[in-house]
Amino acid sequence: MPPPLIFLTCLIIGLGLDYLWPVPVLPPAIQYGAGSGLTVAALSLFGLTFKEFSRTRTSIDHRRPTTAIITTGPFRLTRNPVYASMTMLFIGIATLIDGLWILAMVIPAVVIVQFFVIAKEESFLEREFGDTYRRYRDSVRRWL
């Protein structure tokens, strides 16, 4: 299952739970201020990441082989800026909606992506790029 679909499925489940059993916890100033900030930050991070993929001419699609280890832009801070941006967007939406159930569903989304997507990607990158990837992996965090 593609990572965007994993996040979307968990988001829809969270929205459904929030609809059935709403649990508002945030004052409006935090709800809208933090939610908007996280959403803008997530979209900005994704945009910067996409720019790096384009610049290095490697595919952003996790199903296509990576042709280069990107170490510039957001990749200096996290090895997975696309998944980090999806997670931030998910949390931003949960905050904007003030949905505790939605926020809770980010946990299974991240766990599924970590164990079923990132683990495979990292294994491929280590086989494909060897020491170059290992040095990068050892110097940059997986998430943030």
Residue 65 has what pLDDT? 76
Identify whether 31 is part of a domain: yes
**Where are the strands (E) in the chain, listed by range?**
none
Q: 144: pLDDT confidence band, cut at 50, 70 and 90?
A: confident
Q: Which two tokens stand for residue 79?
A: 């090895």
Residue 63 has what pLDDT? 75
Q: Which two tokens stand for residue 78?
A: 């996290």
Return the CA Rg of the chain: 16
Q: What is the CATH number of the domain that holds 98?
A: 1.20.120.1630
pLDDT exceeds cutoff 80 at 15: yes
Q: What is the pLDDT of residues 46-92, one digit of tens each?
A: 999 999 999 998 888 877 878 889 999 999 999 999 999 999 999 99
Question: How many structural domains does the chain have?
Answer: 1
Identify whether 51 is part of a domain: yes
Identify whether 144 is part of a domain: no
| Overall average pLDDT of the 19-34 stretch | 94
Residue 20 has what pLDDT? 97
* Cα gap 137→128, rounded to integer Å: 13
Task: Provide the residue range defining the domain that includes 13.
Answer: 3-139
